[in-house]
Structure 1
Amino acid sequence: MTTSDAGLLADLNPLPSGLDARLRDHLTFLIEVDKLKTILRQSPLAAAQRRENDAEHSWHLALMVMVLAEYADEPIDVGHTIKLVVVHDLVEIYAGDTPIYDTEAGVSQQEREEAAADQLFGILPEDSGRALRALWDEFEARTTPEARFAKAMDRFQPLLLNWMAKGGTWRTPGVTAEAVRGRKAVIGEASKTLWETARHLIDEGERRGWARG
């Protein structure tokens, strides 16, 4: 079991003695990942004047997989894809969110997230940690249809929120409509239909002045 420098959440109110050791590790992990609810992203909510957190983002992606799976260019296992999107941002508990247009932070992103994955999944019993780590690695590698679609949802979801915010993070200083298209192009690896839709939203946002030309 690996702990963060600040210790585990479960240490604040230790679980009672007498629990099965394996179950204790599972519960300790589940308590620790409650921290995901505190990791703020840059995307604004459509329904409230605040930014979304990582847990809300992951839930939204899971629902999007269920609703939009029919638009995948390749057949996907919906249940497996949902597992990928639920797990994919857990490492941000320790690594923090890396804004998509922050190129400086992006330089160290992989290194920070790899270390965070080792730390977080190390809380679990070895076999459980290995299984979740494999899901995270699959999402990052994008070598399966499910991972490509999961990544597409990860890029499409904030686009919808930015559309509802009339620009949102598209208005970040230095960000252009062309930069937005470049960062969202990965959607096209999984769904031509959703990529065409994404481009239409970006193009229209640029026309309305929500993104710089």
Structure 2
Amino acid sequence: MRINIVTIFPGFFAAPLALSIPGRAQRAGLVEYRVVDLRDFTHDRHRTVDDVPYGGGAGMVMKPEPFFEAVDHLAPTGPIVLLSARGRPFRHADAVRFAVQDELTLLCGHYKDVDQRVADHLATEELALGPFVLSGGEIPALAVTDAVVRLLPGALGDHDSAASDSFYEEERVSAPSWTRPPEYRGHVVPDVLLSGDHARIRAWREQAAEDAEAKRRGG
């Protein structure tokens, strides 16, 4: 798989993509990262990527031309995702859908906004991490990349680890987890998890997952 990231801050990605699961997957040849500097697709000596908004208003708007030219250069074959607070929430189902593609392109906005022509006529979809605003699309791009890469066969080395993740098959969280020691500062691990009774443990985890999901949804 190849993941393209278009950004005005390419240095933002060097360390995170070299570490942990994203780095291990790259070294194993499971994924190739291509981080593209949006400023390389400008044509003035100041390498300008933004301008004032039509109609007035505060902030600067990212220009469409560099995004279109960067994508022309990449010639991607898979989804082209604009990361924007205006997008719909990114979900685990999206990560699963992207993980079976040969290529994924992530467009990182910055400043006040991105010219709407990028969303309307270049990106195939627009996604957000949630109902909040970040300084740019770089952190969402890393989140999407990590969520996708860990689903690639061989990335984790243990498929069961991914299969027991929150949201793996259903849109709900997984049961809480504990590890050694069995008691710490007076806080103990639930007895059922120490029992060795796998049927009881499965039933307990199923109920614990339902309880955690109800709590997450405010129930």
TM-score of the pair, normalised by structure 2: 0.26
Report which of the two has the higher share of helix: 1
Q: Which has the larger radius of gyration?
A: 2
More strand by share: 2
**TM-score of the aligned structures, taking structure 1 as reference length:** 0.26
